[in-house]
Amino acid sequence: MPGLFHGTPLEQPITCEHCAKPHAHCACPRDRHTGQVLLPKDQPLRIRREQRRGKFVTVIAGFAARSERTDDLPAILRQLKSKIAAGGTLDGTTLELQGDHRDRLVEHFKQLGYPAKPAGG
């Protein structure tokens, strides 16, 4: 006798279309509203520098809002902080890093597949 779920959608675990892991183990960033996997190419980033109290900060905007369970933005911020050896914060989906790293970060995110552009002056 075939398995209980033979021939039904429950026969196999439903896997992530991106990493092919079962959804329970998938850590791909997903859109907060649609649940779709967020790919770098669909998140055009704008990277600008601002001057605050005489000091530059680099602001990275344009990440899509993640679902709570798959929020990879804190990890992205950690990696950036260690890459450029500067402090930084996360405000919603906007990353801020201390210092002027605009051009370097545009290149960094382009290499990761994000359509990243410098913005502002």
Give burial (CB, 10 Å; 0-12/13-18/19+) of 106: buried
Print the binding letters for residues 15-54 with Zn ion: x by CB under 5 A, - otherwise: -x-xx------x-x--------------------------
Cα–Cα distance, 106 to 100 (Å, whole number): 12
Whether the Cβ atoms of residue 35 and residue 67 lie closer than 8 Å to each other: yes
Count of all residues that appear for the chain in the document: 121
Q: Which is nearer to Zn ion, 27 or 51 (CB)?
A: 27
Q: Which is nearer to Zn ion, 28 or 61 (CB)?
A: 28
Give burial (CB, 10 Å; 0-12/13-18/19+) of 34: exposed
Query: Which of positions 98-117 make contact with Zn ion (CB under 5 A)?
Result: none
Per CB under 5 A, the segment of 9-17, 64-72, 91-99, 111-119 that binds Zn ion is: 9-17
In the complex, the smallest distance separating the C-beta of residue 96 from Zn ion, rounded to whole angstroms, is 28
In the complex, the smallest distance separating the C-beta of residue 102 from Zn ion, rounded to whole angstroms, is 31
Interaction of residue 72 with Zn ion, rule CB under 5 A: no
Q: Which of 43, 38, 31 is nearest to 67 (CA)?
A: 31
| Residues at the contact surface with Zn ion, assessed by CB under 5 A | 16, 18-19, 26, 28
